[in-house]
A = this chain, B = another copy of it.
Amino acid sequence: MPVGTVASVKGLSPHDLRRLDVDIVLANTYHLRLRPGPELVRDFGGLHSFMGWDGAILTDSGGYQIFSHAERVDVREDGATFKSHLDGEVIRLTPEEAIRIQDALDPDIAMVLDHPVALPATRPEVADAADRSLRWARRSLDHHRETVVSGQALFAIVQGATDIDLRRRQIDELTALDFDGYAIGGLATGETKEQLASTTAVTVPLLPEDRPRYLMGIGYPDDLLRGIAAGADMFDCVVPTRHARTGQAFTSRGVVRLKHAKGRTTHGPLDDDCPCETCTDFEVGYLTHLYKCREMLGPTLVARHNVAFYQRLVHDAGDAIAAGRFDAFADQFLARYGGGEVSGPPARAE
């Protein structure tokens, strides 16, 4: 899922997204609560109508954003109180309020309010937040069943950081409830690449096979392949569009940096193997020129390419699974890709 934090995938219109075969995007409850506000979105007919997007939409609940963006966060059993990072407004968000906001936004899939913790954190901190997330998930499900009549799906979020036993207990409790899908949350919060890989490998297979399994906030191409290997069906990450803005293009041979002067004289497309419009119509020298001149067309063209790259990666992975040759596909991809991207942690909203 490309990330459209405030109901806009940065630099890509719905027309662009459709041409890239995107069928679902993510938006953020926290950001949309602040601007333009759920009542306004409802007044415009919900997110699909507001942002002109007839594909599917998933909204994150705001939990991750509260704990990463907001100030003076005060968590009580009832909910979280925090100050908006934009104007200092004091906002109270409870599990029920997150459901109410997402009912107004009207995405296809809503997420329960959760309480992630940034690492490093103590075991009691992690356990306390995970247990609270579980209680909030129950309240979210009850409130969703009582109040939402639109047929919107609701997904649970498993917390527990890198504590596998804790996550296992969370999964046992959450899967006893009848959520429409299950997500592994609380990653991309400060763990190492190895911790991300091992947590993914152990926890995703514990989620129900007959429901969508969603690895939240992940990630770089190699992270996605490890997630798919573990059984994950859904991902979101800002890197395809954010990296486009910083001049980093994903290619089958690794990341190409378009702010390097050496690209100025480079002929040929970003990626010989990529059939996207950016690779068909433009050479590296021109893209480098656009970044040098700070032309907004640079991030636009590279966002189109990066999203096309990610779409192709997951579609090719799906084809490989169907053909029973996923492991060979993943090995081949990673051998060319060169071991992955280490220029920064994944991130969950932009």
Contacts and interface: CB of A to CB of B under 8 A. Distances in A.
A7 interface: yes
Number of copies: 2
Contacts of A8: 290, 293, 295, 297
A13 B300 CA distance: 8
Interface centre among A50, A52, A297 (most CB of B within 10 A): A297
Interface residues of A, number: 37
Contacts of A7: 286, 289
Contacts of A283: 44, 50
Interface stretch (A35-43, A188-196, A320-328): A35-43
A281 B265 CA distance: 39
A143 interface: no
A290 B12 CA distance: 12
Interface in A1-22: 6-15
Given A8-B293, A286-B7, A286-B50, A281 B15 contact: yes
Contacts of A300: 11, 13, 296, 300
Nearest to A298: B8
Interface in A291-330: 292-293, 295-297, 299-301
A281 B14 contact: yes
A51 interface: yes
A277 interface: yes
B277 A15 contact: yes
A56 B40 CA distance: 44
B52 A297 contact: no
A292 to B, nearest CB: 6
Interface of A: 6-15, 35-36, 40, 43-44, 50-52, 264-265, 267, 277, 281-283, 285-286, 289-290, 292-293, 295-297, 299-301
15 contacts: A6-B295, A8-B293, A9-B297, A10-B295, A10-B296, A11-B297, A11-B300, A13-B277, A35-B289, A35-B292, A35-B293, A36-B264, A44-B286, A50-B286, A50-B289
